[in-house]
Amino acid sequence: MRGLLALLVLTACTAAPPAQPVPDAGGIVDPLSMPAQATVNLADVPSVETCKACHPRQAADWAGSRHAYAVRDPVFQALVGARHAAFAGQQDKFCVQCHTIAGVRSLAVVPGFQFSDLPAVPMEGVTCWSCHAAASIARLHNAGLNMANDGAMRGNLVQPLANSPHGTVAAPFLQSAEFCGTCHEIVELHGLPLERPYSEWADSPSARVGQSCADCHMPKYDDVAALGGPPRTGLRSHRFVGLDPPGAREAATADERAAWVADRDALLATAAAVSIAPGPTHAGDTMTVTVNVTNRIAGHSLPTGSTFIRQCWLEVRAVDSAGKVLYETGTFDANDDLRDRWSALAPYGDPDLVSFSSAFVDGSGQPTLFPWLAVEHHRNQLRAGEQRTYSFFVQVPAGVTGPVQLTARLRLRTYPPFLVRLLGLDAALPTVLLTDLATAATAVSF
């Protein structure tokens, strides 16, 4: 709670007034994704538990995915709480419309709601029903799916068995990037684009060769699609591997977790490349160090998604043979925070820092952490396939004890520790995950 209070104080100090008026007690309305009247009857929305009996593999894989964690995630809940506080409880629905379609369209989520009061099905997050009861695509952002109420499950099996307890409807759109883009493309109420993996994809080499999100995030395997069904080829993994570790860690066995982490590591290993090269130099002079960084993902920018929460940056170090640090950028302060504007111990202490994340600016030109206060979104992501070159200048002392070891790492972190502390979630600090996407090293003799 102390953290949330600190957050509100910070909001009050740095924030311009919200870009749109606080809506009336009826809450905000979007006819499709945040309707004023219920368009879904929660009693008709099946729990994942129902599907598990016949689709155990999909259910187990999904349970480790972020889709299963989309409402239970404490960082999500804390941020929704902050928005709730900023808008006197009237805007809760905006953040929840994709994280639980069932909750918002059934009006289980009402203005001023508490997560602890939500029924079980909305707490399940992005469930089987969220995707397999989608009738069609209405728009390519903000939960742009029309939901069916016929109880049939949409899919692309060739001649699905007729004995399933649910009807089946062929739905080629499920295979498309557009389908994922209905949620993986977020536009704030006042029009500011927040997350854009779909538009990045639409402009990428993957789009040109017809490689969809599922081709990388739902790799194929052969098995039965349902217990008692015929063997099938080309089924799709429901782990939805991305940057995050398994979401429902507590539910997974050690073997399941290991398989999951292996999938994640395999995906991340394809993401980037880094190289490092020293310029000509001698002791007592300035050495120009050139670092090349490449986004090897053909399908979208790096980072993508919640780029304003993620941290993605270059760490570059030069260390002499006695272990003395001659140069460093992209290293942490004693709180494990980058020494950027948000560092409590060394704000603006790393002028050379190269960050590929994005940042919000509010109406008074000040940096803000919160999308609802932002009027600008500054991006520095590496586009699909893009390579960039950066130069760093290392002062080499006259009496250097060579060789000097040069290293460069492209690092990606789920959350900045300062944000986790600001939200009062110190207990979640050990879950912050830091991954080195690519590393390069070389030595220079003197």
Residues 236-295 that bind ligand HEC (CB under 6 A): 236, 238, 240, 242-244, 267-268, 270-271
Buried b (16+ CB within 10 A) or exposed e, 109-132: bebebebeebeebbbbbbbbbbbb
445: tokens are 């003799």
102: tokens are 């069932």
- Rounded CA-CA distance 410/389 in Å is 13
In whole angstroms, the minimum distance from the beta carbon of 53 to ligand HEC comes to 5
| Binding-site member from 7, 15, 34, 58 for ligand HEC (CB under 6 A) | 58
Beta strands, E only, 296-353: 311-319, 325-329
Contacts with ligand HEC: how many residues (CB under 6 A)?
Answer: 98
Is 267 exposed, middle or buried (CB count within 10 Å of its CB: 0-12, 13-18, 19+)?
Answer: middle
164 binds ligand HEC (CB under 6 A): yes
Cβ closer to ligand HEC: 246 or 330? 246
- Rounded CA-CA distance 176/213 in Å is 8
Cβ closer to ligand HEC: 62 or 446? 62
In whole angstroms, the minimum distance from the beta carbon of 148 to ligand HEC comes to 12
Cβ closer to ligand HEC: 62 or 418? 62
Q: What are phi and psi of 426, to 5 degrees?
A: -50, -35
Q: Which of residues 125-154 bind ligand HEC (CB under 6 A)?
A: 126-132, 142-143, 153
305 binds ligand HEC (CB under 6 A): yes
Return left, alpha or beta for 88; rule: phi > 0 is left, psi -120 to 50 is alpha, else beta.
Answer: left
Cβ closer to ligand HEC: 207 or 404? 207
| Binding-site member from 28, 59, 293, 423 for ligand HEC (CB under 6 A) | 59
Q: Which of residues 366-395 bind ligand HEC (CB under 6 A)?
A: 371
3 binds ligand HEC (CB under 6 A): no
Span interacting with ligand HEC, options 112-120, 182-190, 357-365, 394-402, rule CB under 6 A = 182-190
Contact 183, 126 (CB under 8 A): yes
In whole angstroms, the minimum distance from the beta carbon of 290 to ligand HEC comes to 24
Q: Which of residues 341-360 bind ligand HEC (CB under 6 A)?
A: none
Buried b (16+ CB within 10 A) or exposed e, 226-260: beebeeeeebbbbbbbbbbbbbbeeebeeebeebb
